[in-house]
Structure 1
Amino acid sequence: MAPERFHEQFEHIRRSLPDVPLTMGPDDTPGLLYEKGVVLVRGGEEARFVEDAVRAHFTETPGLVPDHVGRVDPPADRTGVTRIRVGDPAGGEDTVPHALRAVRAAERRGGRRLAGRNHVLHIAVNACPGDEPVPAPRTEDANPAVSGGGHDPATAVGVLVIDTGLVHDHLAYPPLAHTTGDAQLTETGGDGVLHQYVGHGTFIAGIVAALAPNTDITVRGTLNDAGAVLESEFAGRLFEAVDRDGWPDIISLSAGTPGADTDGLIGLDTFMRELRDRRTLLVAAAGNNGSDTPFWPAAYAALPEYADCVLSVGALRADGESGACFTNHGPWVRVHAPGERLTSALTGFVTPVPYVYQHSTYDDCRFGSDYACTCLYPRHTGVLSEGRENTGGKPDQVMFDGLAQWSGTSFAAPVAAGLVAARMTAYGERDPRVAAARLLAAATGRAEVRGARVPALRPPTWRPVRTVIPALPA
């Protein structure tokens, strides 16, 4: 991933979490953000052991201060996790890597990871964006197009979208007539310009509704703060959502974090164990870092105990022939679906809303691909980009009046979720995990992603988009 885009997004997220000292991970883990000077542990004896082990290691190591080691807060009631301070967040060097090394030997003896970073989980167009939305022509329909069939409250499939909230005028888009949930907290600034990522949850709901009209969709604004949340808080918010609405048939989640650990996220342990014992299917975006580093929670799909309850989804490019340039990939990604230049509901159905681009496009694909990807086109200059004077200076502004095009695994995930829901209706299936397994078993489509032939889902109402980038003026 292009480092300049990552740094732009880092500053954006840091402003949304002003009281949390954040730092970026090593270069070999693109998109990794976490809380500086803090490690995340389970409560009880494990927390005490980690605290003692880190303090002992810091006592013996020059330059590290054992007095900084201590619990930040008590274990959370529902998740059991707690944060342990391992350094002065206002200091220079981040001490988290030192602290994690201090407990590695004990972890190897016990066969269980005891501590980890307190990651920032973010929507999958945030710290690793596919692109920003583009207004769709008024003459253009949704893509995937709205499927036939009606809504039956007695048999409707329950879908919970964990994302940003619904825009105020979402009911003006007919497919969202059976969609409820949280309102987007703030849509525009004092100047009336749309904030970045507003409409993300609405766009996702529109995709699910288009593919599966017989759904009751609830959108929860769990990620309204620039699409970012600390791992230590995320499971609690997920529990709040399912406690409020009940466990649905399907959860569509387009957020996560890269992480090199192979056993998941400590902060999500409790939620994932309860998910495993329910009948709910979690459909999760694979992330947009163009990397094979696991992206959690999508990567739980590769763990045997979660293989039937988590479906990880990567993105196909606009023509559907292969993987999108930005999509994460690897054996932990179960299936790929269209995720580039999809068209769905955004905002401005009642009154058009202006938007100013935050990022600039590139002269070459930032992931090294050689097709007409969204890195390149449509060209625009953004507010956050350095060197705007070299690309036209003034940031570009557009108007949204309903539908938009957007790209990312954020939107491939609800394509898969919609297809599972549609199958449940078509075949009278009540178990979403069985429906997902049968959907994948019946899928004959394949696509090439980074040299591998992988399963691909291409909805019958989806139209391939073949883009030719116009030549730049001489």
Structure 2
Amino acid sequence: MAPQRFHEQFDQIQRSMPDVPLAMGPDDSAEFFYEKGVVLARDGAEAALVEDRVRTHFTEATGLSADHVRRAGPETNRSGITRIQVGDPGHGDRHGDRAVHHALRALSEAEGRAGHRLVSRNHVVSIAVNACPGDEPVPAPLTQGTNPAPADGPYDADTAVKVLVVDTGLMADFSSSPLLAHTQGDPQLRECDEAGVLQQYVGHGTFIAGLVAAVAPNTEITVRNTLNDAGAILESDFGAALFASVDEHGWPDVISLSAGTSNGRTDGLLGIDAFMTELRAQGTLLVAAAGNNSSATPFWPAAYADLPEYRDVVLSVGALRGDGDYGACFSNHGSWVKAYAPGERLTGVLTGFGAPVPYVYQHSTYDACRYGFTYTCTCQYPRHTGVLSEDRAGTGGKPDQVMFEGYAHWSGTSFATPVAAGMVAAHMTAHKESAPRAALRQLLDATTAYAEVRGAHVPALRPPTWQPVPVVRLAPPA
């Protein structure tokens, strides 16, 4: 059975995509979400092959009518992907889609002969990563400042490292923070609901930009609002959205991407295949979040870092807990995660420094860590009751509300990622290195700091201005 928070987030994302029926996959497990009744294929001959094989499979193998099998949407797009309808999206429930399952099976033999994947589910890519946020933001006092603290160093427009953040946009009053003086980009859409309450994941892109700027002051940061609707986008749209994010100003030095999905495979996402091929031909380094499901399952696009042709192109980043010595309870892990950075209870800019703005918690904390860890992790503290949780006993049925007036504490591989991206950018400036991929190799080769994650010793990228947060270990249950 999938964890409570995964189910809660499913409901949140489904509300943000009311016209796209979604299911969980591959069954009722906490792996991924996908569009019901639709599969993806590459444009042209492969799409025609998929359509033909699926139609034959439904007719011969299942005895079902194949009249519903047809192209769904534009024949071509920038990412070279075609959506093919293989079933009625109204059939079944959230726990799976048999039509999509049959369509994938219909192509298994053809994929074996072709030597590569021909068909895919249309996954939901989310900034919650694995649709399971590390936690929600917690107000931090203005007197505390950020953690990491802003590093010393001048900004030089001629040598500034160009960093692109593909995320939600910038809060309307982001420029009230001196930390974001050299940040530009798209506005955050729909900051508040009709009652003036901040919506979930609002400020995510602003928080990330602030972390990059704190670690690497000589950066020119651009934030795109590619992921505004509950931080989610369909895989079929994701590739084109990534292309659009680099079109206006050209390819940057570094892309910081705190979004993705697992898909049960080890060969990447079909929907971003064209973008990843183009990325490899550029000099840009993609720094991507490993995900927050405490899992070793490859999470894309971060897991491209483990494919030979992308090892110098992508850096996958997991999260360290507050003391920086061990992995955070929520962080994905495994050999495909190439480095870890502080990602628990970081302090950064969430909103501007004007009038306080209310936020109502969406998820409740737990009595014990949902992943079985025994320190006071973000699963448990600070305690709050959320809107999406069914059990609100003792609260009068009311979720908890807080006020934000600038800074927040926030946790997730979403935030370890810009810390790592900032360290690459800072290395480029310090060593006058113009090639970000070369800078990454130099940085990792020079790293003598390690942390322990699931018994493995892994490279730990800890910025000099980051201060550890004390960790309290709980007594084991009697």
TM-score (norm 2): 0.96
- Partners of 2:195 and 2:394 lie apart in 1 by 26
Corresponding residue for residue 439 of structure 2: 435
Partner deviation per Cα, 1:364-419 (whole Å, 9 max, x = no partner): 10111111100000000011100112556321110001010000000000000000
Structure 2 contact 137–410 (Cα < 8 Å) conserved? yes
Residue of structure 1 in register with 2:113 after alignment: 109
3-state SS of the aligned residue for 1:234? helix
Q: State the shift of 1:29 in Å.
A: 5.6
**Residue of 161, 176, 193 corresponding to 1:157:** 161
Query: Post-superposition shift, 1:33?
Result: 0.5
- Deviation, 1:95, is 1.1
Per the alignment, in what secondary structure is the counterpart of residue 56 of structure 1? helix
SS of match in other structure, 2:142? coil
User: What amino acid sits opposite 1:230 in the alignment?
Assistant: L
- Relative to structure 2, which stretch is displaced further, 39-48 or 60-69? 60-69
Q: CA deviation at 1:451?
A: 1.8
The superposition leaves residues 261-290 of structure 1 with CA deviations (integer Å, 9 ceiling, x where unpaired) of 111111101100000000000000001011
Q: Deviations over 1:64-103 (max 9, x none)?
A: 3311111112333321100111111111253111110110
Aligned with 2:326: secondary structure?
coil
Change (3 A) 1:385 1:28: closer
Q: What amino acid does structure 2 have at the position aligned with 1:415?
A: V
Equivalent residue, structure 2, for 1:355 = 359
Contact 1:381/1:393, CA 8 A, preserved across alignment: no
Aligned pairs for 1:40-439 within 5 A: 40-62=40-62, 64-92=64-92, 93-124=97-128, 127-390=131-394, 393-439=397-443
2:2–2:28 Cα contact (<8 Å) kept: no
Q: Give the SS at the match of 1:67.
A: coil
How many Å separate the matches in 1 of 2:76 and 2:289?
27
Task: Write the letter of the residue equivalent to 2:32.
Answer: L
Using the alignment, how far apart are the partners of 2:352 and 2:473 within structure 1?
27
Judging changes above 3 Å, is the alpha-carbon distance between structure 1 residues 336 and 363 closer, same or farther for their aligned structure 2 residues? same
Give 1:28 deviation, angstroms: 8.1
Is this contact kept in 1: 2:2–2:30, CA < 8 A?
no
C-alpha distance in 1 between matches for 2:283 and 2:334? 26
8 Å Cα contact 1:6-1:31 kept in structure 2? no
Q: 1:310 to 1:303 in 2, by over 3 A?
A: same
| Aligned residues of 2:163 and 2:253 also touching (Cα < 8 A) | yes
**1:115-160: per-residue Cα shift (whole Å, max 9, x none)?**
0011100003571110000001232120011000111000000000
8 Å CA contact retained: 1:2, 1:366: no
Paired residue secondary structure (2:451) = strand
Question: AA paired with 2:332?
Answer: N
CA drift at 1:198: 0.4
Is the CA contact (8 Å cut-off) linking 1:65 and 1:87 kept in structure 2?
Answer: no
Partner Cα distance (1:261, 1:448) in 2: 26
1:187-225 Cα shifts (integer Å, max 9, x gaps): 111211111110000000000000001000000000011
Percent of aligned pairs sharing the same letter: 68
Letter in 2 for 1:252: S
* Preserved CA contact (<8 Å) 2:148 2:211: yes
Q: Is the 8 A contact 1:124 1:285 kept in 2?
A: no
Would you say how many aligned residue pairs link Structure 1 and Structure 2?
471
Corresponding residue SS for 1:139:
helix
Residues 291/29 of structure 1: CA separation in 2 closer, same or farther (3 Å cut):
farther
Deviation string, structure 1 residues 158-180 (Cα, Å, up to 9, x no partner)? 00000000001111111100000
Q: Which structure 1 segments of 5+ residues have no match?
A: none
Q: Offset of 1:2 from its aligned partner?
A: 6.0
* Contact 1:29–1:258 under 8 Å retained in 2: no
Sort the Cα spacing of 1:139 and 1:63 in 2 relative to 1 into closer, same or farther, 3 A.
Answer: farther
Q: Which runs of 5 or more structure 2 residues have no equivalent in the other structure?
A: none
Aligned 8 A contact 2:253 2:435 in 1: yes
Q: How far off is 1:255 after superposition? A: 0.2
Q: Give me the whole-angstrom Cα distance separating, in 1, the residues matched to 2:58 and 2:130.
A: 35
In the alignment, the residues of structure 2 paired with residue 306 and residue 43 of structure 1 have an alpha-carbon distance, to the nearest angstrom, of 24
Tell me if the contact between 1:50 and 1:114 (Cα under 8 Å) persists in the aligned partners.
Answer: yes
Partner of 1:18: 18
- Contact 2:375–2:474 (CA under 8 A) maintained in structure 1: no
- Partners of 2:57 and 2:417 lie apart in 1 by 43
1:13-40 deviations in whole A, cap 9, x for unaligned? Answer: 0011111111011358624000011110
- The DSSP-based 3-state class of the residue aligned with 2:67 is helix
CA distance in 2, matches of 1:470, 1:101: 47
Distance 2:272 2:86 in 1: 21
